[in-house]
Amino acid sequence: MSENQQEVDSDTITDVETMIDTEEELIKQCEEMWKDMEECQNKLSLIGTETLTNSNAQLSLLIMQVKCLTAELDQWNKRKPERKEEFQKLRCDLEMVLSIIQSKNEKLKEDLEREQQWLDEQQQILQTLNVLHSDLKNQVVTFTESRIFNELKAKIRSIKEFKEKLLLTLGEFLEDHFPLPDERTQKKRKNIQDLNPQLITLNEMLEVLINRMFDVPHDPYVKINDSFWPPYIELLLRYGIALRHPEDPSRIRLEAFHQ
C-alpha cells in the first residue's frame, strides 16, 4: 500500500472518530438540558400561579436550547444509516488492506527463509574452504634462502661433475681416434719438413676454443699458431665444428651449438 493511501485511510478513521465523539457530546448535552428542564418544571409546580420573571425567561431559553439540540439530534439520527454504510465500507477497505499486508508478510517471510538458507549454505562452504586452506597451509614446505642456495650449489656441483666426466670421456675418445702425428705420419707426409714438437692434441684444441667462446663471448676467435696441427684444423672446419673469421682466415672459433 502506498503512502498516499495510508494517509487517506488514516484521515478517514480520524473523521469517523470525531463524528462519534460529537454525537456522544450532543446526547450528553441533551440529557443535561432535560435534567435542568425537569428541575424547572418541579419548581414551577411548587410556585403555582405566581408571576415569573427571571425564572420564566430562563425556562424559555432552556426550552429553545432543548428544541435546537433535539433538532440537531434528529439530524444525526437520520444520518446514522449513512454512517453505518460508511463504517461498513471502511471496514471492508480495512479488511482488504489487512489481507494485502498479511499476504506481503507471508511472502517476505518466505523470502527471509530462503535467504537464511542460502546464508547457512554459504557459511558452511566458507567453513569447509577454511579447513582446506588450513590443511594446505600446513602441508606447504617453506623454502628458505639457505635451502634454495644449497640446492643450487648441489645442482652446479652435479653439472660440473657431469662436465668433467663428459670432457674426460671426450678426451679419451679423441686420444684414441685422433692422436698426434708420429714419425711414420711424418714420413708419409712429404710436404711437412719439420714436425713441431709443441703440437697439441685435438682435445686440447677444442678445449682452447671452448674456453675462448665462454670467457670472451664477444670475441670468440682464436689465433691459429704452430701448436695447431693443420689436418685437425681442416677437420674442424670441414665438419662445421669450427668457423674461420670472415676477414681474417688465420683466426677460427668454435660453432655456437649452445645457442
Q: What is the pLDDT of residues 65-98, one digit of tens each?
A: 777 777 776 766 666 566 667 778 888 888 888 8
Question: How far is residue 65 from each of residues 62, 71, 72, 74, measured CA to CA in Å?
Answer: 5, 10, 11, 14
d(CA 200, CA 10): 117
* One domain for residues 206 and 238: yes
- In this structure, is residue 116 part of a structural domain? yes
* One domain for residues 111 and 197: no
Chain centre to alpha carbon of residue 112: 23
- Specify whether the CB–CB gap between 226 and 196 falls below 8 A: yes
Q: How crowded is the C-beta side of 195, counted as CA atoms within 13 Å?
A: 14
* One domain for residues 45 and 107: yes
Contacts of 216 (CB under 8 A, 6+ apart): none
* One domain for residues 79 and 191: no
What is the per-residue pLDDT across 223-242, written as a single tens digit (0 to 9) for each?
Answer: 999 889 999 999 999 988 89
* One domain for residues 124 and 54: yes
Site of grid cell 699458431: 225
Domain limits for position 42: 8-137
CA-closest candidate to residue 197, choices 212, 187, 210, 186: 186
Asked whether residue 151 carries a pLDDT value surpassing 60, the answer given is: yes
- In this structure, is residue 142 part of a structural domain? no
* One domain for residues 45 and 83: yes
Q: Where are the alpha helices (DSSP H) in the chain?
A: 3-47, 54-139, 145-177, 183-188, 202-215, 230-238
* One domain for residues 99 and 60: yes
Share of the chain above pLDDT 70, in %: 66
**Mean of all residue pLDDT scores within the chain:** 76
Map residue 143 onto helix, strand or coil: coil
- Specify whether the CB–CB gap between 245 and 253 falls below 8 A: yes
d(CA 5, CA 58): 51
- In this structure, is residue 213 part of a structural domain? yes
d(CA 122, CA 118): 6
- In this structure, is residue 57 part of a structural domain? yes
If one counts the domains in the chain, the total is 2
- In this structure, is residue 150 part of a structural domain? no
* One domain for residues 123 and 206: no
**Which pTM does this prediction carry?**
0.38
* One domain for residues 174 and 94: no
What is the per-residue pLDDT across 94-125, written as a single tens digit (0 to 9) for each?
Answer: 888 888 988 888 989 999 999 999 999 999 99
* One domain for residues 180 and 124: no
- In this structure, is residue 92 part of a structural domain? yes
pLDDT of residue 59: 67
* One domain for residues 105 and 205: no
